[in-house]
Amino acid sequence: MIIFGLGNPLPKYRETRHNIGFMIVDKLAKKLSIRFSHKPSYHVARKGVDYTLIKPMLYMNNSGIAAAEYLRTISSSQFFIVVCDDLALPLGKIRIREKGSDGGHNGLASIIYHFQTNNFPRLRIGIGLIQNGFTTTDYVLSKFSENEKPILEKVIETSCEALVRINETGIKSAMNKYNAMSLIASLKQSDN
């Protein structure tokens, strides 16, 4: 399975909401004990034939260029999934879909444009609704607050579990398990 985690490459973007795709594939790479090698337009980490993790490095709006470039380097068509942030979902929710529109997400729009299809699965990660006083750009490029960090850690951990489940038992199984889950509720229960 190929996993494209979307984000922006510079250190100043590392902990921003828009980079949650990078955060998740970084965590999954750590769990799988693999390291990223650096290519000009993407970073790649592989675990045998089971997992290939890709971080497009041409900025969010050009994610499709890097993703298409990587797919041209492999001989067979493999299952792939895109991991990205979602402004329409609250923090603590993840949503797995088999296909769909870009939903206003420039990284997904770029992949749809360069692949000429929206028929690919995605794992969308809620980053919270835009707060008063923020533009969309300012909000997605803002960092998570200290209060949000415990939820963020749970989201990243659960997203890694969901990706492993997709690979091992299929996307429908993962959708059934994770799409209805509220990670904020599960955190509150574990605190009691």
Residues with catalytic function? 18
Opening angle at CA 113, ends 111 and 115, nearest 5: 65
What number of H helices and E strands is found in the chain? 7, 7
Residue 94: which H helix or E strand, with range? strand 94-97
- Helix-, strand-, coil-residue percentages of the chain, each rounded to 5: 45, 20, 40
Q: Which residue has the tokens 């799988």?
A: 32
- Sheet containing strand 80-86, strands side by side: 37-38, 42-47, 51-56, 2-5, 80-86, 122-126, 94-97
Helix axes 171-178, 149-169, angle to 10 degrees: 150
Distance of CA 77 to the CA centre of its chain: 21
